[in-house]
Amino acid sequence: MKLATLKDGSPDGRLHVVSRDLTHTVAATAITPTMQTAIEQWDLVAGALEDLYDALNAGNARDAAALDTCRLAAPLPRAWQWLDASAFHSHGDLLEKVFGLDPPPEKRTVPLMYQGAGDDLLGACDDVPLPSEEDGMDFEAELVAILDRVPMGTTVAQADRHIRLLTMANDTSLRALAAKDLRTGFGFLQSKGATTFGPVAVTPDELGDAWRDGRVHLPLHIHWNDAAFGHPDCGAMGFSFGELISHAARTRNLTAGTLIGTGTISNANFREVGSACIAERRAIELVDEGAPRTPYLKFGDRVRIEMVDTAGRSIFGAIDQTYVRADIR
């Protein structure tokens, strides 16, 4: 099924069920009020939500309305925990060249992951406000799993059962600040703006055969100011979602509603399929031409991210947003 959060002026919005074709929606608040409560009570409410989803797809849901994705917040407008990984080896290899980083000795066997900010999550049509173009504004297209409670010590084999929903994200990065954050040894802070999430989150079964081995085997399509930028295949993850979840839960429980991201989608044949962030394209230019030439984002630039199935139908809806100067007072 497909779920979303409608903005209503409250911090957590209202839970809605969305039709498979993303044309209609209906409130699910009579079952459970928010996405967070749905995740926390999944075994109790999932059946009723599925029944409402079936009714909506059949055209039998009372009070159904046309879907306007720009009225939607992030599926979880605020989250207890947002953990982001670097699950695509080709991306890590390229960025090591850009930032002059020494590769971690266990980079192929232990996932890289940092704890992001879960308190300021943007909807798919929201502007991205940032203080300065000089900070090196960059988009990063990735996939995200929304988890129920994961006990400490959960194994890779057990981890996939804790994935309740999947969506996508634009994890904005400020490249001019990233090296400074990394040199502190404490991870990213100022170099990460607010993260944007896809308008709709879906249960893994909605992906059909594209969901297997803890990966989504479909490309993610990225456009920058209406020009195609990349369409890398998400199935090329060096670490599966199960491996990422097990890594995060090695020494602690993960609260229901935890978000785990794949990091920037990247493929080894990046010269053919393009990239999911500007920094990676700049790294390719550095390798091929001796210097990067593609600039980072400017205020007014627009980014669109979308995944479609093999029939060309949108799965999560689209992230479609503009980068703007923050009104800082």
Q: Kindly indicate the confidence band of residue 181, based on its pLDDT and cuts at 50, 70 and 90.
A: low
Torsion from C-alpha of 67, 69, 73, 74, nearest 10 degrees: 110
- Banded model confidence at residue 177, pLDDT cuts 50, 70, 90: confident
Look at residue 98 in the predicted model and tell me its pLDDT. Answer: 66
pLDDT, residue 4, reads 98
Distances in whole angstroms, Cα of residue 120 to Cα of each of 11, 171, 194: 10, 12, 6
pLDDT band at 178 (very low <50, low <70, confident <90, very high): confident
- pLDDT exceeds 90 at position 287: no
Average pLDDT over residues 21-38: 98
| Continuous segment of H or E residues that includes residue 17 | strand 14-18
Write out the two tokens for 11: 């911090």
Strand partners, 259: 82, 146
pTM for the whole structure? 0.95
Region 34-38: what's the mean pLDDT? 98
Three-class secondary structure of residue 248 per DSSP:
helix
Q: Are 116 and 140 in contact (CB under 8 A)?
A: no
| Choice between 188 and 306, residue whose per-residue pLDDT is larger | 306
User: What CATH number should be reported for the domain whose range is 82-325?
Assistant: 3.90.850.10
Ranges of each domain in the chain? 2-71, 82-325
Specify the amino acid at residue 94: L
**In whole angstroms, what is the distance from residue 173 CA to residue 188 CA?**
9
Residue 30 in this model has a pLDDT that exceeds 70? yes
- pLDDT score recorded for residue 207: 98
Given a contact cutoff of 8 angstroms between Cβ atoms, the answer to whether 222 and 273 are in contact is: no
What pLDDT, on the 0 to 100 scale, is given for residue 329?
A: 72
The pLDDT of residue 311 is above 90: yes
Among 182, 160, 197, 142, residue whose Cα is nearest residue 319: 197
Structure tokens at 253: 């429980």
Flag whether pLDDT at 182 surpasses 90.
no
Mean pLDDT of 129-156: 97
| pLDDT for residue 99 | 65
